[in-house]
Amino acid sequence: MNYQWYPGHMTKAKRMMQENIKLIDLVIELVDARVPLSSRNPDIDELAKNKSRILLLNKFDLADAEYNKKWSSYFKEKGFYAVEIDSRSKTGMKNIQKAVQEACKEKIERNKMRGIINRPVRAMVVGIPNVGKSTFINSFAGKACAKTGNKPGVTKGKQWIRLNKGLELLDTPGILWPKFEEQAVGMRLALIGSMNDEILNIDELALELISFLEKNYPGSLMERYETDRKTENTFEILKEICINRRCYLKGEEPDISRAAAIVLDDFRHGRLGRITLEFPNEVQSNS
Ligand SMILES: Nc1nc2c(ncn2[C@@H]2O[C@H](COP(=O)(O)OP(=O)(O)OP(=O)(O)O)[C@@H](O)[C@H]2O)c(=O)[nH]1
Ligand SMILES: [Mg+2]
C-alpha cells in the first residue's frame, strides 16, 4: 500500500502557521510517544527555526513505559526540553510550566531588561493530525476550549486560547507532509490513526501490525484473542482473531475486514497493552 495523505486543508494550515509564526515566542510540538520520530513533521523544523521549542511526548499512557524513558533521554541528549504527558488524564502536565519557563528564559529576561513585565508567552501548538493537540490545550487550560475527536482532521482553523498563567496558546490543525521518505513512516502514522482510515487498506494495515506485534510484543495477541501461536503466518493469525471475535460472513467464511478493524481499534485504544512502534536503538542518524 502506498501511504500518503496531504489534503488541501493541510496546505492551507501550513500557510496560516507560516503567517502567524512571527507572533510566536515558543513552539510546542506534540509527538506521539508510540512513534516519537515518525510523528515529527520535518516541515515543523523549518517553521520553528530560531524559535524556542519544547517537545511533548503525548499519549505516553499508550506507549511502552521502558521506551518512554529511552525516548525522553534520546531527545534530552539532543538538547530538547522534552516532557512525557498524558493529555487525557493530565499526567505530567505540571512539568510543562517549568519547561516553558526554561525554554523562554532568554526572551523573558530580554523583556525584563526592556521594562516589559508580565507579557504573556505566546505559543503555537503544532503536530501531526490526531496527536492530541486540542486535548492538551483543554487539559492545560483546565477547561474545554478546543474541539477534540478520535479521528484526524478535527481542528480546521486556528484558535487562540488565553490562559491566566502568562501563556497564550494557538491551536492549529494537524499537518502531515507531501511525501514520506520511507513508507514505514507512513505505515506507523496510519497505525496510530493520523491518516484518514478511508484512504487506507485496513486489512493490509492490520497484517502489518500483527507482524510487528508477533516480533516485538509476542503474547499480546494471544492474550487478547486466545490465538494459539501454532502459526507465524499473519493472515492465519487474523483468521484466528475472526474466530475468537466471531467475525463471519455468510456461512462460516471469516470476515477478515471486520477482524482487521477490531485489531486496529484495540491497538489504538491500548487494549493490546502499552506498545511502542519504533525504538531509539534502531535510529540511524535521524535529526
Ligand atoms: N490515551 C490518550 N489519548 C489521548 C491523549 N491525548 C489525546 N488523546 C485522544 O486522542 C484523540 C485526538 O485528540 P485531539 O486533541 O482531537 O487531537 P488533535 O491533535 O487536536 O487532532 P487534529 O485537530 O485532528 O489535528 C482524542 O480521542 C483524544 O481523546 C493522551 O495523552 N492519551
Ligand atoms: Mg485539534
pLDDT at 285: 46
**What interhelical angle do 234-244 and 256-268 show, nearest 10?**
90
Residue 229 sits at φ, ψ, to 5 deg, of 65, 20
- The DSSP 8-state label assigned to residue 91 in this structure reads B
| pLDDT bracket for residue 284 (50, 70, 90) | low
* 72 pLDDT above the threshold of 90: yes
Q: Which ligand is nearest to the CA of 13?
A: 1
Location of C-alpha cell 484518514:
196
Q: Are the C-beta atoms of 31 and 58 separated by less than 8 Å?
A: yes
Q: How many CA atoms lie within 13 A of 28 on its CB side?
A: 31
Measured in Å, residue 249 CA sits from the centre of ligand 2 at 37
* 264 pLDDT above the threshold of 80: yes
What are all long-range contacts of 132-135, with beta carbons under 8 Å and residues at least 24 apart?
132/30, 132/32, 132/58, 132/59, 132/87, 132/88, 133/30, 133/171, 133/172, 133/174, 134/171, 135/87, 135/88
Nearest to 191 by CA among 206, 213, 176, 175: 206
Q: Are the C-beta atoms of 150 and 131 separated by less than 8 Å?
A: no
How large is the average pLDDT for residues 141-166? 91
How large is the average pLDDT for residues 272-281? 96
Question: Is the shortest distance between the CB of 88 and ligand 1 below 6 Å?
Answer: yes
Q: Could you tell me the pTM of the whole model?
A: 0.95
Encode pLDDT of 39-66 as tens digits.
Answer: 999 999 999 999 999 999 999 999 999 9
Share the mean pLDDT of the chain: 94
Measured in Å, residue 135 CA sits from the centre of ligand 1 at 5
Instruction: Write the residue with the smallest CA distance to atom 8 of ligand 1.
Output: 132
**Position 233: which residue type?**
N
pLDDT at 9: 95
How large is the average pLDDT for residues 59-87? 97
Question: Is the shortest distance between the CB of 139 and ligand 1 below 6 Å?
Answer: no
Encode pLDDT of 190-219 as tens digits.
Answer: 999 999 999 999 999 999 999 999 999 999
